[in-house]
Amino acid sequence: MSSVTANVRQGALRGKVATTHTGKTYYSFQGIPYASPPVGPLRFKPPQPAEPWTGVRDATKEGNVAPQLSETTRQYMGDEDCLFLNVYTPQMPSESEGGVKPVMVWIHGGGYTVGSGNSDMYGPDYLLNHDVVVVTLNYRLGVLGFMSTGDSVVTGNMGLKDQVMALRWVKENISAFGGDADNITIFGESAGSRACHLHVLSPMAKGLFHRAICQSSVAFRGSLNTPVAERTFRLARHLGLKEGASSQELLDFMREVPARTLVEQMLHCRSEKDKILQESFPIRPTLEPAGAEDTLVSEDPADIIASGSFTPVPIVFGVTSQEGYLYGSVLGKQDAWRGLNANMELLVPGAAAKTPDERRTATQEVRRFYLGDRPLGDDTFVQFAQLRGDANFVYPALDVARMHASVPGAPPVYFYFFDVDTRLNLFKTMFGASKYKGAAHADDLPYLFRFGLLKPSGPNTVEGRVIARMTKLWTNYAKAGKPTPGGDDIIPVSWPAFSADQCKYLEITNDGLAVKENLFKERMDFWKTLHSRKADLKTSS
């Protein structure tokens, strides 16, 4: 294995020369520390800069992942010393006859509870074929990354602050890998997508990136109202904290609890309502107290967008055709269906109805619109999946895109709809929904990244053609800020910007690309009416 050296601010790194599945050479630097280990007194604190090292540091293997339960084995894995990133580049500066390359920084999803930037899921091969530098990263997850006391003792969102620290590191060091520090695109899916959107909205990451791609999840009205502090205290009491303890006492107590215990016991923070909803990612981003030090976000996302006080960068938003297959764990579970039928008001987002009367009315309307007079159950799973997918992903993404596009002078917004269905739709299978048509939440990922266990698709297969289109669109955008700059045989259409009065989007299917308008119009109008009625009530009260 040939090695290659790069010099960053902290010291020298030894990476390796690798090849993509198509034989293209690239340089891989893995397990680079971008912050100090968040352990001991730094647990639950904002990240601190990485310490320098002497000699040449080995960067040929991935670093520790954040503490979590494996999605496949449900066994504990990871280490608190987890703030590492990976850089994959098609050329080193010494070979830069083509100049510096655009940089794409990937933020992984997993409900802020599981996942990593590792190449078993996020292999860079397909993107590297388009001459960009790819960066993937780990950040703190679950209780260790997102617990909050609701005040300045632990403000929350440490995992998001880790990501900002990683972006600072990229900005300062990416030129050592042939990357352009003045052309950085952040992109992510699900929790990683919402994180990208929060970085657009937060002043903390301003100047650290130049475009964003948000795949399937956004920061929308009310999305940061999760009762994280309440859940944190509930978990701490379950672990032995005395009743009535202060925030400082909670912090001191939680610093002594082993990371493994925090991960394995996390679901004990849930309320009865959370259990009915089968909430498996309960500790996540939350509003921070205004005026606290190192604040990432202390205002509702919708208010930030409306005020125009976000980082003005172009943004791509998009969804898959069947986001709600994510909730396939209820299939075959009569008790779960019974709980949902009896508590259907829990499926109505707080942003659409707040008072008991509003919730009752909204629940009846939602039931009637999606189910008619049928109960929730295996035979109405598709309707249930549409309801949850529309409420949690599709309507918020379209609404947020509309809000961004309405800000005077804002950079362009683009929207896509991913409806590809092939053997690469791994997540649909993982969620137990493989017999249903369409693309589940996260089913777009294997068309952007090489999943280590999958045999690569040939260029003339349906899968290969979709990979070629998707990666070309994403990297075109990273290079020039326009996904379809024109003159391209793989991308025969021009993807127009999204506007509030013309909701045009790019549809991506097995057969190709098409520009369409007003996605799921009837369903989206239904949610718009519910949300605007709530807004009217708010203004008149």
Q: Strand pairing partners for 511? A: none
- Distance of alpha carbon 57 from the chain centroid: 30
Question: Helix 158-173 and helix 191-201: axis angle, to 10°?
Answer: 70
Query: Could you give the CA distance from residue 156 to residue 150 in angstroms, rounded to a whole number?
Result: 8
Q: How many residues does the chain have?
A: 541
Confirm whether 323 is a catalytic residue: yes
- In single-letter form, the type of residue at position 393 comes to F
- In single-letter form, the type of residue at position 359 comes to R
| Cβ neighbours for 529, distance < 8 A, ≥ 6 positions apart | none
| Cβ neighbours for 214, distance < 8 A, ≥ 6 positions apart | 187, 188, 193, 194, 196, 197, 315, 316, 317, 318, 397
62, 189, 323, 463: the catalytic one is: 323
Q: Are 13 and 6 in contact (CB under 8 A)?
A: yes
- Block residue for tokens 């707080």: 350
Confirm whether 190 is a catalytic residue: yes
Which pair of structure tokens corresponds to residue 463?
């899968």
- Give 84: exposed, middle or buried? Use CB within 10 Å, 0-12, 13-18, 19+: buried
List b or e across 147-164, with b for residues whose CB sees 16 or more CB atoms inside 10 angstroms.
Answer: bbbbeebbbbbbbbbbbb
Name the nearest CA neighbour of 174 among 314, 27, 316: 27
DSSP 8-state class, residue 495: -
Q: Sort residue 196 into left (φ over 0), alpha (ψ -120 to 50) or beta.
A: alpha
**Which phi and psi angles does 177 have, rounded to 5°?**
-115, 15
| Cβ neighbours for 350, distance < 8 A, ≥ 6 positions apart | 222, 225
Q: Strand pairing partners for 90? A: none
441, 457, 463, 531: the catalytic one is: 441
Query: Could you give the CA distance from residue 450 to residue 265 in angstroms, rounded to a whole number?
Result: 33
Query: Could you give the CA distance from residue 421 to residue 325 in angstroms, rounded to a whole number?
Result: 13
- In single-letter form, the type of residue at position 330 comes to V
- Distance of alpha carbon 261 from the chain centroid: 25
Query: Could you give the CA distance from residue 413 to residue 397 in angstroms, rounded to a whole number?
Result: 12
Maximum C-alpha span of the chain:
70
190, 193, 321, 457: the catalytic one is: 190
Catalytic site positions: 190, 323, 441
